[in-house]
Amino acid sequence: MKGALKKTSYLLGLSLVAANLQAETLVVLAERIYTQAGPVIEAGAIVVEDGKIRQVGRQSQLRLPAGAKTLQAAVVTPGLIDARTVVGLAGYLNQPHDQDQLETSAAMQPQLRALDAFNARERLVDWVRSLGVTTFHTGHGPGALISGQTMVRKSHGNHVDDGMMQPLAMIAAQLGPGAFGAENRSPGTRSKQIAMLRQQLIRAQEYQQKQQEAQEGKAPSRDLELEALVGVLNGSTPLLITAYREQDMQSALRIAEEFGIRIVLDGAAEAYLMLDAIKAAQVPVILHPTMARQFGELENASFITAQKLHQAGIPFALQSGYERYVPKTRVVLWEAAIAAAYGLPYEVALASITIDAARILGIDERVGSIAVGKDADLVLYTGDPFEYTTQVSQVIINGQLVSTEPH
């Protein structure tokens, strides 16, 4: 009994320490602040209290709290958002035991939950956080017709529930050769893919109808696979469709129109060939990494596709994507920098990994910009974020310093 009381006191002590950390008042001073909610602020300041942004503006116009811990930086941006990754499911060791992003036993498994496979202590999570990524959209990757679910989580905490924002964000699917079945397994062609996907959505419609018509005690037996797709049909869960070729993106748009579902195009290497169609369908794009290897289905990828999407007025975000080789992930900060070097306006490039990514993921009320009331997720830099020699000096999530070593 004495030991249990001692343990309880210890846990309460930890809770109080955590609460005190969360309640700490913090002042961030910067030569330049990219708020992504308005004009750039020169000689700016941000006041953080209780994990939220309480003030932001020019230093000369704010009443800064006396005695608060103060940090200084050349540049501050909102915490970066990786709009599509497999970090936490795919591990840095690149060995079978830490590669949970793809289950190959069946072509369609929408019931597979990302949170059941996520490893909060995976070193890649720490690595991308040290480079400014405070929120990521991660989960099952490409390689199957429907590979499973995705989730949105902040990049801190040692438990999957720590920093969780959306335990179910989207259902991940893929069209094209990258999701053909191996060793003569279905689907082996594009037409088979679409037929299988259409049939499964029809089955989900029938299941949904039975649920709606069921009287008490007569509901259909639960089917986790169809339940997941009912969320797609009723609009609560977007279908994230990885498609690189124009013909596969056209098929994705047809499926969306036929079933009246929300989709997000992922990859979209040949999007510049069908800008009018994508815009007319009002479908957002999570574009492939700017520096993605241009072979196979990405052989027609371009460094200026992000610029073309921007000029066409199509909502888009950049991503790290899925890397087959170590270190198993790219870094969205660098991908955005290259997009800017190839003609994407500077602040649009920054928006593609902050506020625009947040809007596509539906989390922009909390993150993506530096504004009063939003989560205090901030990245401090030694210089221009897109310059090669600049380092990320400090990272703040929910008002807490989570990375203090320059990277």
407 residues of the chain, pLDDT tens digit each: 444 444 444 344 444 334 444 458 999 999 999 999 999 999 999 999 999 999 999 999 999 999 999 999 999 999 999 999 999 999 999 999 999 999 999 999 999 999 999 999 999 999 999 999 999 999 999 999 999 999 999 999 999 999 999 999 999 999 999 999 988 899 999 999 999 999 999 999 999 999 888 866 677 889 999 999 999 999 999 999 999 999 999 999 999 999 999 999 999 999 999 999 999 999 999 999 999 999 999 999 999 999 999 999 999 999 999 988 888 999 999 999 999 999 999 999 999 999 999 999 999 999 999 999 999 999 999 999 999 999 999 999 999 999 877 87
Under 8 Å CB-to-CB from 225, ≥6 apart: which residues?
A: 108, 109, 110, 111, 200
CA-closest candidate to residue 275, choices 296, 250, 300: 250
Please indicate, yes or no, whether residues 323 and 393 belong to a single structural domain of this protein. Answer: no
Please indicate, yes or no, whether residues 33 and 116 belong to a single structural domain of this protein. Answer: no
- Residue 3 counted as domain residue: no
DSSP characters for 34-52?
--SSSS-EEEEEEEEETTE
Please indicate, yes or no, whether residues 178 and 227 belong to a single structural domain of this protein. Answer: yes
The alpha carbon of residue 160 and the mean position of all alpha carbons in its chain are separated, in whole angstroms, by 15
Please indicate, yes or no, whether residues 47 and 143 belong to a single structural domain of this protein. Answer: no
Strands 171-174 and 239-243: parallel
| pLDDT value, residue 339 | 98
Helix H or strand E encompassing 370: none
| pLDDT value, residue 52 | 98
| pLDDT value, residue 265 | 98
| pLDDT value, residue 17 | 38
Residue 66, token pair as written in the block? 């006396």
Please indicate, yes or no, whether residues 385 and 249 belong to a single structural domain of this protein. Answer: no
CA distances from 83 to 153, 169, 224, 244, 337 (A): 11, 11, 26, 17, 16
CA-closest candidate to residue 372, choices 54, 74, 158, 91: 54
- Residue 320 counted as domain residue: yes
List the domain range (segments joined by +) for residue 265: 80-361
- Residue 5 counted as domain residue: no
Give residue for tokens 């060791």: 93
| pLDDT value, residue 2 | 43
H-type alpha helices, 106-150: 123-130
| pLDDT value, residue 74 | 98
SS (H, E, C) 242-299: EECCHHHHHHHHHHHHHHCCCEEEEECCCHHHCHHHHHHHCCCEEECCCCCCCCHHHC
The alpha carbon of residue 75 and the mean position of all alpha carbons in its chain are separated, in whole angstroms, by 23
Please indicate, yes or no, whether residues 46 and 112 belong to a single structural domain of this protein. Answer: no
| pLDDT value, residue 9 | 44
* pTM greater than the 0.85 cutoff: yes
3-state helix, strand, coil in the chain (%, to 5): 35, 25, 45
Is residue 251 a contact partner of residue 175, using CB atoms and an 8 Å limit? yes
Please indicate, yes or no, whether residues 92 and 51 belong to a single structural domain of this protein. Answer: no
Phi-psi map region of 94: left, alpha, beta (phi>0 left; psi -120 to 50 alpha): left
